Amino acid sequence: QLQLQQSGPGLVKPSETLSLTCTVSGGSIRSSTYYWGWIRQPPGKGLEWIGSIFYSGSTYYNPSLKSRVTMSVDTSKNQFSLKLTSVSAADTAVYYCARQFWTWYFDYWGQGTLVTVSS
């Protein structure tokens, strides 16, 4: 059974960089069928796609976040990561990692990490 385990700080100061990692177990991140994505959900609001990455490093980003987002993959650790720079209170949200099939649906999700941006 595939599992995605998220890790990273739950509190980030304004203007600093948010960093999260998603570790995949029960399957290989080196798959030609899947991308690996990040989605966030501000408290009480809807889902927002942040971006997706292939194991080769190829990425797709949400245009509204593209200037601040970097995704990377570490195949040796079966992990992928998210960095979001220059955060503000508007970036406070539950962040999810997920496996994305090539037809752009997410079938396995991480547990979610609430990241609060506050000094």
What is the token pair recorded at 118? 């506050």
- Determine whether 68 is exposed, middle or buried from the number of CB atoms within 10 Å of its CB (0-12, 13-18, 19+): middle
22 SS3 class: strand
Among 76, 103, 118, 119, binds another protein (CB under 8 A): 103
Whole-angstrom distance, CA of residue 23 vs CA of residue 29 = 9
Q: Is 42 in the site for another protein (CB under 8 A)?
A: no
Considering beta carbons, is residue 55 or 106 the nearer one to another protein?
Answer: 106
Task: Give the binding range for another protein (CB under 8 A) out of 15-23, 71-79, 85-93, 96-104.
Answer: 96-104
What is the token pair recorded at 2? 């595939």
Considering beta carbons, is residue 38 or 55 the nearer one to another protein?
Answer: 38
What is the token pair recorded at 7? 């890790």
Q: Is 46 in the site for another protein (CB under 8 A)?
A: yes
CB of 18 to another protein, least distance (A): 19
**Residue 53: which of 88, 26, 83 has the closest Cα?**
83
Instruction: Catalog residues that contact another protein under the rule CB under 8 A.
Output: 37, 39, 46-49, 52, 60-64, 96, 101, 103-107, 109-112
